[in-house]
Structure 1
Amino acid sequence: MSMLKIYESLLVNIRSAKSGTENEEEIIDTEETSPGVCHSINMNEEVRNAILAYGFFAVIWSFGGVLHPDSKQRFSEYLKNLCDQDPTSSKPRGLQIPRSVQLPKFENVYDIVYVKKKFFSWCLWKDVVTPTKIEDIIKLNMKNNENDVHLMLNDIIVSTPGTAMQMYFLETLLLQDKPLLFVGPTGTGKTAITNSFLRHLPQEKYVVCQINFSVQASANQTQDIFLTKLERRKQRVYGAPLGKQAFVFVDDLNMPAKEKYGAQPPIELLRQWIDHGYWFDRCNKY
């Protein structure tokens, strides 16, 4: 399921890339065929390659994303050998992978991403890092806090391959209504990077509900905090304000205290919402 969600979100890039080339000048031109035909053939080949490459990427970050670090290295070598044209390497019969889609031999598969600059290709995460511009951060801070134009040090996120990776998954999955979970050691910037991404979202389109779990967090408190950010649409239906989309950011997910048998009610409430899309009304018993 995780692989299909990632793959579905990535395919949106292909549709946007195809629509973006409708008004571009033709790149390939020969005397034998018209420019339009050549461009169409070239574009179709790029689309086929992207579909295959995104499949690899979805496998890497679904099946491979939950592996132990030692197993990740072996998994990386296995996938690269699978793409290798060496006939002695074991791989399914008839598997043909275009050279332009093959995983780079000398890079770890977790260090690369398939993106389109001028053409689709595998790139290192460090190649997609965007420079940090203090001026843009100040403008955003002034827009969100009209009465306070002071810039705090924790408002500045210095772009690194790690931040580029997290921002990529936030943009790819969250904006396609796919929930995601970031897991990692304390102090690696998960909360700061996510908050930075959410602050940059247009306020006229999105509303953000942030919850910080603690040991004392309960399921009832969690549900009440959610509902304060939503509007009552019908008798039993709550939703984001009209014309907006609601995002929920839960920090310190592992903090709620466990019950006698190991359950954590706030997390079970989140699981019910993600799996089933609704909660029961505690007052009216429906």
Structure 2
Amino acid sequence: MPKPYDVTLKSLIESHPLDWLRWIGLPIGTVDIIDADLSAIIAEADKLLRVNTEQPYIAHIEMQASYKPDMADRFMRYNMLAGIRTELPVDTTVFLLCPVADGTVMRQPVMKRFMGGEPYLQFHFRVVRLWQEPVEAFLEGGLGMLPLAPLCAVSKQELPEVVRRMEKRIETESEDAGTAWLATYLLMGLRYEQAMIQRLLRGVSKMRESVTYQAILEEGEAIGEARGEARGERNLLLLLGRKRLGEPNAKTLEVLQSIMQPEILERLAIRLLEVETWNELLTAL
């Protein structure tokens, strides 16, 4: 099931698509988010971008934090469906966020054979293993990639300096520091202990000022209590929802406050990038 960091990563790609295209090394042009035109696919695929170059194409970007033997076949299916629906070539890049996401199917192209004969279908895709990537490329690259820096080839001893350099850039260059730090916090949870993350990020001024972040930390001290988990999920939903859909009205807030099941609130957060209004989001209840 998708996790909250999926929503923040999709938001980063949507807000800074050129940063991702440049890092991957794809041709640059104006970008259209085509999720609405591919609703049958976007329910599962992470992000599909139409890039309007001299020869337009689709950039298909996937994020993985766990391994499944069938996931390469799944990426091939998304690639082919996007190509059929748009009649454009599709380039697929898979970002592996942590080593446990790596495995046999990530190390070779997909090949389909009939009864052991010659391949009748081959699917090649690009794989980025973040823990092997030099951190400098992310610290000095686009802001849309910056929250991934702590997951790169960096030791725990180097991490405080990485966070310090991130803070300097986010404070001076980012128009949405809160979202950048929230994405950083959620992604760091894939690799580091909560105590270390909290110690590092409590020193960041924008994090100290963030009511949402402080609420998430407080709830982290009460893991196992359904009410505490729900409050943390609700705070995350409201932070991301305000950025995407605007300020919720009193009725919407009342409905959200009445939901005490963390899994329902998480499901709503995952749907944020698929809807245009708070009312549309709540129809999923």
Pick the TM interval, shorter chain. Answer: 0.3 to 0.5
More helix by share: 2
> TM-score, normalised to structure 2's length?
0.34
> TM-score, normalised to structure 1's length?
0.34
Structure with max Cα Rg: 1
Could you say which structure has the greater relative contact order, defined with CA pairs below 8 angstroms and 6 or more residues apart? 2
